[in-house]
Structure 1
Amino acid sequence: MSSLLRIIRFTRSLAPLYTAVILASVLTAAAGLAVPFLIGHATDTVTGAVSGETPTSAAVRTVVLIAAGVLVAELFTTVVSNVGGWYGDVMSNRMRTILSVRYYDKLLHLPQRWFDGEITGTIVARLNRSITEITNFAKMMSNSFASMLITTVAVLAISAWYAWPLTLLLLIVFPVYVWLTSLTSVKWQRLEAEKNEQVDIASGRFAEVVGQIRVVKSFVSERRELTDFTQRFGSTDATTREQSSHWHRMDVIRRAFLNLVFFGIYVIIFVRTVQGAFTLGEMVLLVQLMSMAKAPVESMSFVIDSAQRALAGSRDYFRVMETPVDPRIVLQSAHGRADGEPAEAPVEPVPGAPVISFHEVDFAYEDGEDVLHGIDFHVDPGEKIALVGESGGGKSTIVNLLLGLYEPRQGSVEVVGRPSADLPLEQLRSRIGVVFQDASLFSGTIRENIAYGRPGASDEEVVEAARRANAEAFVLRFPDGYEQVIGERGLKLSGGQRQRIAVARAILKDAPVLVLDEATSALDTKAEIQVQKGLDELMAGRTSLIIAHRLSTIAEVDRIVTLRDGNIDEIGTPAELAGTGGIYAQLLDLQSSGDSRRLAKFDITG
């Protein structure tokens, strides 16, 4: 139950709503307890009239008043229970909001390594399932627990007043029934976890397939994907059968025990009535009270079932919430600043220091062999540096380290003379503009995507960025111009158009350091020329780190760093490296010979 208590602590701002729901439950329970007394009194009145002990006219007036009392109690119960239901709905929705926002906030601050081992769709499925189960249980408990508790305590007290053996039997049935129910918990939750794992994997794959539906269709993989999806969900059938068999087998034992105990309770009530210890009205009162006591016990199975689902969901939820975040991240509330500007006072650059420095950096993505070995180079203010090497040589890994997505295993990375490990990531990344090979656009409008790094930018600034990125012409051809919705990941745009929007986004961010990670490698020649014009505009006056794609671009940089198997092979100007016989010289020779197949392994074209 510790996880559920953590949920309550997480959502303590909902205390007024919890109180309102519980108060409604208390009033509903109190009104419900009045009904058996009223009906018992009516029974005695009718019995007296039938036996001639009470005048008929007086009995009629009494039973009419009693019926009116029952009506008032039931109307009161109807109104108050619905008021409590309204508060319960609001509470449940607010709890969903709080838990979802905190989950999302946590995800946004988790290190990149965590995402490397997760499937996007599974993360989303876990969010939906876990929080739904938690909020459903919270709503059910707040609506019924107080009522159940009050009803049980009142029934125990009243039955003790009339006949202590009834109370004794009830005191036995409650803990034994709960104990029998709890015996199912360990196995049930283990099987539930197995089902959740398969459902989460299937749901994650479902989201991937929908996001990559063109690939699925082009490779005629619909049947294979459907088969895998079916098998995942189908595997839960056997688990459910085992789980349900275990649960209902235990339910037979629980309810049989309950039936035996209540057999004893009813025997006591009926025998004592025959013996004259109870009036007929008192017998009716006690039978109704026992029925009211029995209902919470019978509903205990549903309560514990919901609790177990909520426990399983809360464990998945807190497994994510307990994942350590990068200590350099400045955690902010969901209502914190969202304008892309640093939340803390900016760290000033060290005068005269290189803009970027790598000092003897070793790095491995997983425990094992390093993919970078002793990387050591620097980039001075305004300098353009190209990273060149075979595919898999470590070029993109260097960019990932610069952006703080990973930490070096050994060595250090410095930005503006400060160790990146000492810079809040928000400030580090605010200094760097990036254009990736994949434009990575969002499903909103063109304007929203250009202004993603500066949501508060004016329309004039957005238009100017698009113009400088050589994007304005095609944007204005859309019916809605900058308000054109471009679809998920910008699917309504061509590759060249997406990249020019990405370049405009980097221009508008106006960061002093620019990283181009193979920004034109996926484009045809015409689109590449158009995007390159935007990139040239973007690089003007900035310190640039370029993962090279076009040899013509490499020829215009200040220095080239060549990489081979995660090691720096050479550093020098294009002219210096052209005659050394190293990687860059080989690329020039391959271009001259037109050997495109060997060029391809370097991700380089002419």
Structure 2
Amino acid sequence: MSALARILRFTRSLTPYYVGIMLAAMVVTGAGLAIPFITGRATDVIVDAIEQSGAGNDVLAATIRTVLLLALALLLAELVDTVMSNVGGYWGDVMSARMRTILSTRYFEKLLSLPQRYFDNELTGTIVARLNRSIAEITNFMKSLANMFVTLIMTTIAVLIISAWHYWPLAALLLIAYPLYLWLTALTSTRWQHLEGRKNEHVDVASGRFAEVVGQIRVVKSFGRERSEQDQFAQHFDTTVELTGEQSRHWHRMDVIRRAALNLIFFGLYAIIFVRTVQGHFSPGEMVMLVQLMAMARQPVTSLSYVVDTAQRAIAGSRSYFEVMSLEPSQIEPTGSHPHQPATSDPDGPVVRFRDVRFGYDNDADVLDGITFEIARGERVALVGESGGGKSTLINLLMGLYAMRDGQIEVVGAGSDLESLRTNIGVVFQDASLFSGTIAENIAYGRPEATRAEIEAVARRAAVEEFVRKLPRGYDTMIGERGMKLSGGQKQRIAVARAMLKDAPILVLDEATSALDTKSERLVQAGLENLMADRTSLIIAHRLSTISEVDRIITLRDGRIDEIGPPAQLAASGGIYAELLALQNASTASARKRMKSYDVVG
């Protein structure tokens, strides 16, 4: 029940809808309760008329007027039921839509607030499947609860009072039926929820893999893995079929016991009503009224089965939803991490400063240890090191995508939150990472308010216009999910244009031209030269020609800084950069292989 209470608290802004739906249900229930009384009264009037078949025309006419009025009352009760049930249904539909909006937007907001480390450990498809399943089950339950709760309570109370008024053993038997059914339902619930949780795990894994395969469909097809992926996918859902069978057997076995107990109790209720009618204690009209009331009393008990079923699904679904909502960044990032600090805005001071930074993934050993360096305003600094040596990790730390284990990073413009930090940094990753939408929208992602003229200006500088001119819709061309309709070089040029348009004072280039052919690289590099002018730049480059043009080089070896200095100085030091220059002049296969280990080509 705590999970259900949490759902109500989480959606308390929908209270007016809950109240409206319940008021409509109260009117519907009242109209429904009036029908047995009207029917019972009509029965007595008709029976009396039959017994007085020899009475005069005046009595007959009065009887007809009475039954017609009673028929009109039945029509009125049914019309009220029809109208108010539809009013309640409308409010229920709007409430469900608003609840989906609330739950979805809060879930999305929570995800956006979580550190990068959370997404490293979760499949995208699993996150989406968890959201869809949880919200569907929660909204279904809340809608059914709002529609049924008042009806169940009012009907139960009214039937108990009326039954006790006419003959107290009727109410006594009903008082046995309700708690007995609830107790048997509770026995069913625990095992059902356990099996439902196992089913959800398999569905989430299968859905996560499904999204991953669709996103990497070219790789799947290229390696001929369609059948194996299909088999793994089917295996998860085959398991859910087995679990559903076990779950259903348990549910229906218990349902037989519950309904059999209910049948015995209602047998006693009907037997009492019929016998006391024969004995003259109840009139025919009272008998009809009580029989209809017993049918109404049965409805809340049987409806309870549906409410409990949807409640169990909501509890099982909300568990994974609220697990995510309860996450705090401190639970995901390691303890002892330090936030970014604003550097002094002294024009002669450094723009970026790393102070004894230490970092590692999860519980693994440190990837970076004792990283200390400064970058002056307008300086271009290149990072060089072996593949996997921590170059991209260092960039990720600068961007605040991960928290450090120890140390401190100071950045000019960094405020109390990461948004202020990232506003001051423009970045081009090795993977272009575009979104579905138009070319113009992707270029303007960092500055949505940019004008078309500004978009086209940076597109020319980044050599985007060269291929856009050939597209029928130009900058309004839809590029598909992750830019699937574009070549690698075209996507990377758009990513470069995106960074140009953001026009941040600090620029990060993580192998920004690695996906370009020679011609495109030459065009983009010219644009990057203009972009880096009077701008602080941190570069991971894959060509020695690019590295040689920076102000300083930082070389990394085994997660530590090996050397820092201008290219000319490091060329003669005998370190990593000097080794790369020597390897460039050597034309052997082993030299090329060694250079490749540094992600660098000549």
For residues 10-37 of structure 1, give each alpha carbon's deviation from its aligned partner in whole angstroms, at most 9, with x where no partner exists: 2222222222211111100000000000
SS of equivalent to 2:512: coil
Aligned to 1:528: 521
Aligned to 1:461: 454
Unaligned stretches of 5+ residues in structure 2: 334-341
Aligned to 1:110: 114
For residues 127-167 of structure 1, give each alpha carbon's deviation from its aligned partner in whole angstroms, at most 9, with x where no partner exists: 10000000011111111111111111111111111011111
Aligned to 1:337: none
Whether contact under 8 Å (2:203, 2:236) holds in the other structure is yes
* One of 93, 99, 103 as aligned partner of 1:99: 103
Question: Are residues 1:504 and 2:477 paired?
Answer: no
Normalization by structure 2: what TM-score?
Answer: 0.95
The one-letter code sitting in structure 1 at the alignment partner of 2:30 is A
The one-letter code sitting in structure 2 at the alignment partner of 1:225 is E
- Report the alpha carbon displacement of residue 58 of structure 1 after superposing the two structures with TM: 2.9
SS of equivalent to 2:329: coil
Find the aligned partners of 2:509 and 2:458 in 1 and give their Cα distance. Answer: 17
Find the aligned partners of 2:134 and 2:424 in 1 and give their Cα distance. Answer: 37
Whether contact under 8 Å (2:343, 2:351) holds in the other structure is no
User: Which aligned pairs between 1:109-148 and structure 2 lie closer than 5 A?
Assistant: 109-148=113-152
Whether contact under 8 Å (1:499, 1:531) holds in the other structure is no
Aligned to 1:376: 372
For residues 492-533 of structure 1, give each alpha carbon's deviation from its aligned partner in whole angstroms, at most 9, with x where no partner exists: 222111111111111111100000111122333333223322
Find the aligned partners of 1:246 and 1:143 in 2 and give their Cα distance. Answer: 28
Find the aligned partners of 1:203 and 1:430 in 2 and give their Cα distance. Answer: 35
Distance 1:405-1:186 versus aligned 2 partners, 3 A rule: same
Whether contact under 8 Å (1:199, 1:233) holds in the other structure is yes
The one-letter code sitting in structure 2 at the alignment partner of 1:396 is S
SS of equivalent to 2:31: helix
Question: Are residues 1:63 and 2:64 paired?
Answer: no
Question: Are residues 1:426 and 2:419 paired?
Answer: yes
Aligned to 1:221: 225
Question: Are residues 1:537 and 2:530 paired?
Answer: yes
- Report the alpha carbon displacement of residue 450 of structure 1 after superposing the two structures with TM: 0.8
For residues 260-305 of structure 1, give each alpha carbon's deviation from its aligned partner in whole angstroms, at most 9, with x where no partner exists: 1111111111111111111011011001001001011011111101
Find the aligned partners of 1:94 and 1:542 in 2 and give their Cα distance. Answer: 47
Question: Are residues 1:230 and 2:230 paired?
Answer: no
For residues 27-79 of structure 1, give each alpha carbon's deviation from its aligned partner in whole angstroms, at most 9, with x where no partner exists: 00000000000110111112112222774333322222212211111111111
Question: Are residues 1:39 and 2:39 paired?
Answer: yes
- Report the alpha carbon displacement of residue 541 of structure 1 after superposing the two structures with TM: 1.5
SS of equivalent to 1:184: helix
Aligned to 2:337: none
- Report the alpha carbon displacement of residue 470 of structure 1 after superposing the two structures with TM: 2.1
Distance 1:144-1:348 versus aligned 2 partners, 3 A rule: farther
For residues 307-366 of structure 1, give each alpha carbon's deviation from its aligned partner in whole angstroms, at most 9, with x where no partner exists: 010011111111111110379x9xxxxxxxxxxxxxxxx997355431111111111111
Aligned to 1:156: 160
Find the aligned partners of 1:171 and 1:350 in 2 and give their Cα distance. Answer: 80
Aligned to 1:567: 560
* One of 257, 274, 279 as aligned partner of 2:278: 274
Find the aligned partners of 1:64 and 1:423 in 2 and give their Cα distance. Answer: 77
Question: Are residues 1:18 and 2:11 paired?
Answer: no
- Report the alpha carbon displacement of residue 535 of structure 1 after superposing the two structures with TM: 2.0
SS of equivalent to 1:400: helix
Find the aligned partners of 1:429 and 1:352 in 2 and give their Cα distance. Answer: 22
SS of equivalent to 2:23: helix
The one-letter code sitting in structure 2 at the alignment partner of 1:601 is S
Question: Are residues 1:390 and 2:386 paired?
Answer: yes
Aligned to 1:336: none
Aligned to 2:359: 363
Find the aligned partners of 2:323 and 2:525 in 1 and give their Cα distance. Answer: 45
Find the aligned partners of 1:451 and 1:373 in 2 and give their Cα distance. Answer: 37
Find the aligned partners of 1:562 and 1:413 in 2 and give their Cα distance. Answer: 19
Whether contact under 8 Å (1:442, 1:490) holds in the other structure is yes
Distance 1:293-1:410 versus aligned 2 partners, 3 A rule: same
Whether contact under 8 Å (2:125, 2:211) holds in the other structure is yes
The one-letter code sitting in structure 1 at the alignment partner of 2:345 is P
SS of equivalent to 1:183: helix
Aligned to 1:440: 433
Aligned to 1:341: none
* One of 402, 408, 412 as aligned partner of 1:406: 402
Find the aligned partners of 2:583 and 2:81 in 1 and give their Cα distance. Answer: 86
Whether contact under 8 Å (2:384, 2:555) holds in the other structure is yes
Find the aligned partners of 2:233 and 2:50 in 1 and give their Cα distance. Answer: 70
Find the aligned partners of 2:563 and 2:397 in 1 and give their Cα distance. Answer: 20
Normalization by structure 1: what TM-score?
Answer: 0.94
Find the aligned partners of 1:304 and 1:78 in 2 and give their Cα distance. Answer: 26
Aligned to 1:181: 185
Find the aligned partners of 2:532 and 2:512 in 1 and give their Cα distance. Answer: 13
User: Which aligned pairs between 1:47-58 and structure 2 lie closer than 5 A?
Assistant: 47-52=47-52, 55-58=59-62
Find the aligned partners of 2:469 and 2:7 in 1 and give their Cα distance. Answer: 50
Find the aligned partners of 1:534 and 1:40 in 2 and give their Cα distance. Answer: 89
Find the aligned partners of 2:210 and 2:45 in 1 and give their Cα distance. Answer: 67
- Report the alpha carbon displacement of residue 476 of structure 1 after superposing the two structures with TM: 2.3
The one-letter code sitting in structure 2 at the alignment partner of 1:560 is I
The one-letter code sitting in structure 2 at the alignment partner of 1:605 is V
Q: Which moved more, 1:44-53 or 1:402-411?
A: 44-53
SS of equivalent to 1:230: helix
Q: Which moved more, 1:223-232 or 1:41-50?
A: 41-50
Whether contact under 8 Å (2:356, 2:372) holds in the other structure is yes
Find the aligned partners of 1:440 and 1:326 in 2 and give their Cα distance. Answer: 27
Find the aligned partners of 2:468 and 2:67 in 1 and give their Cα distance. Answer: 81
Find the aligned partners of 1:423 and 1:374 in 2 and give their Cα distance. Answer: 25
Aligned to 1:321: 325
Whether contact under 8 Å (1:437, 1:518) holds in the other structure is yes
- Report the alpha carbon displacement of residue 256 of structure 1 after superposing the two structures with TM: 0.9
Whether contact under 8 Å (2:343, 2:352) holds in the other structure is no
* One of 224, 242, 248 as aligned partner of 2:246: 242
Unaligned stretches of 5+ residues in structure 1: 330-345
The one-letter code sitting in structure 2 at the alignment partner of 1:511 is A
* One of 265, 285, 291 as aligned partner of 2:295: 291
Find the aligned partners of 1:235 and 1:525 in 2 and give their Cα distance. Answer: 52
- Report the alpha carbon displacement of residue 6 of structure 1 after superposing the two structures with TM: 2.1
The one-letter code sitting in structure 1 at the alignment partner of 2:529 is D
- Report the alpha carbon displacement of residue 472 of structure 1 after superposing the two structures with TM: 1.9
Find the aligned partners of 1:522 and 1:600 in 2 and give their Cα distance. Answer: 15
Count of residue correspondences: 586
Find the aligned partners of 1:46 and 1:352 in 2 and give their Cα distance. Answer: 104
The one-letter code sitting in structure 2 at the alignment partner of 1:356 is V
Distance 1:235-1:293 versus aligned 2 partners, 3 A rule: same
Distance 1:556-1:347 versus aligned 2 partners, 3 A rule: closer
Whether contact under 8 Å (1:469, 1:538) holds in the other structure is no
SS of equivalent to 1:242: helix
- Report the alpha carbon displacement of residue 3 of structure 1 after superposing the two structures with TM: 2.2
The one-letter code sitting in structure 1 at the alignment partner of 2:555 is T
Aligned to 2:339: none
